[in-house]
A = this chain, B = another copy of it.
Amino acid sequence: MLKLFSAFLICLVSATNALADGPAVDTGDTAWVLISTALVLLMTAPGLALFYSGMVRRKNVLGTLMQSFAVLCVVSIQWVLIGYSLSFGPDRLGLIGGFEFFGLSGVGQDPNPDYSATIPHQAFMLFQMMFAVITPALIAGAFAERMKFSAFLVFTLLWTTLVYDPLAHWVWGVGGWLRVLGALDFAGGAVVHISSGAAALAAALTLGKRKGYLTEIMPPHNLPLTVIGAGLLWFGWFGFNAGSALGANGLAATAFLTTNTAAAGAGLSWMAAEWLHRGKPTLLGLASGLVAGLVAITPAAGFVSPLSSIIIGLAAGVICYLSVAIMKPLFGYDDSLDAFGIHGVGGILGAVATGLFATTVVNTAGADGLFSGSGALLGKQLIAIGACFLYSFTISLVILKAIDMVMGLRVAKDDEVQGLDITQHSESGYSL
């Protein structure tokens, strides 16, 4: 803490060592990464905020929106102070980054060639920040409509620091053990989606079901909000995936393309699955499917061909549908907005698919997957999936239990009935 504070003081005065001598910044790459960063922010707020809040009941619309916005604020600060350093600071044992970048000391306007030689180090840091922001916001889907806001804030801060930051280091940090192992994760299939999905499952189990779950009808209160959110997610995901090329180049174009086709394929296949299963093609189904496709293509986006991405998308739509419509009722947990069912399941699917479909023809910096003749990658992907899932699930469980003991996770029964908006925030969403 003292260390942090002195780093803070130093930075305040000496600031961001904005020298002008290092490797040259490419303006095109920088423009692309900056706009991609903005796009990923848009995914969280208002994108995900709307996607989720349209699905809850009217009385919880603000509480749900609030979660995404609060995460954005909290993690934006955490990342600058400690998160970036824990994730991307000099390696310690393959497990975590060191303190060197605390308070962004040493993170300036020049490129850091370890991560991106053509854009300002701050631009790389900002792009990564938005990934750290969206991940805990995704988890909130699992415990929608019943978590105390104060507990949520504490959870966000702890989870980001204890789960997200180490995982980001494992997979993306120079020296991180999964990176060294050779597991591929183009834009965060494991770091973002598997980790948030595993935490979501832990949260759904720890918090328990909503009052009235499966006995009362809980239809989405405002599907147009959800659909605006889905549209913004699709739009923003181009920043997420194609931005992960860290430059405006051919690889970015390929990642953009695979992202788009996977989303389209999964939107259609979820719709088709529900049509066959329930007799009607629904808009919420199409929207859920396209998100599932975006999730599944995330780890693979820069490693697979366009046609492979269609297959990944088609599979993601069907499999996530089954996990949500069949598996969830079977086991009976209340993953309210399907954070596990879509991000957990879709993320695992995508990580496996990367092991199957990756090809060095698309990206020489990648690897060849099973269908290009090599099984090694698939093995590494399975290790990465297992490690990320288990680590996130376990630590999330510990954090949640601890918070529950100290301050309680769940709002009072009466408050749940009255809704989060009035009881947690003293506001009403609408007076239409």
A70 within 8 A of B: yes
CB proximity of A349 to chain B, nearest CB, Å = 18
Oligomer copy total: 3
A113 within 8 A of B: no
Contact: A49 with B126, CB < 8 Å?
Answer: no
Contact: A256 with B30, CB < 8 Å?
Answer: no
Q: How far is the CA of A41 from the CA of B261 in the complex (A)?
A: 12
CB proximity of A406 to chain B, nearest CB, Å = 19
Other-chain contact of A267, B62, B69, B108, B251 (Cβ < 8 Å): B69
- Of chain B, the residue at the smallest CB distance from A10 is B307
Contact: B268 with A77, CB < 8 Å?
Answer: yes
Q: Which residues of B contact A250 (CB under 8 A)?
A: 18, 20, 25, 108-110, 120, 122
Contact: B219 with A431, CB < 8 Å?
Answer: yes
- Of chain B, the residue at the smallest CB distance from A44 is B231
Q: Which of A106-159 contact B (CB under 8 A)?
A: 108-110, 118-120, 122-123, 125-126, 129, 149
Contact-residue bracket for chain A: 35 or more
CB proximity of A1 to chain B, nearest CB, Å = 15
Other-chain contact of A41, B34, B80, B235, B286 (Cβ < 8 Å): B235
CB proximity of A396 to chain B, nearest CB, Å = 23
Q: Which of A198-206, A318-326, A419-427 contacts B (4 or more CB under 8 A)?
A: A419-427
Q: Which of A201-259 contact B (CB under 8 A)?
A: 219-225, 227-228, 230-232, 234-235, 238-239, 242, 247-254, 256-257
Given A58-B432, A122-B256, A224-B430, 17 extra CB contacts under 8 A: A8-B307, A11-B305, A15-B304, A15-B305, A16-B254, A27-B32, A30-B249, A30-B252, A57-B431, A62-B227, A69-B230, A72-B264, A76-B261, A123-B256, A222-B430, A223-B430, A282-B425
* Interchain residue pairs with CB less than 8 A apart (13): A12-B307, A28-B28, A32-B34, A35-B35, A38-B238, A47-B231, A61-B223, A69-B230, A74-B268, A80-B257, A120-B250, A281-B425, A282-B426
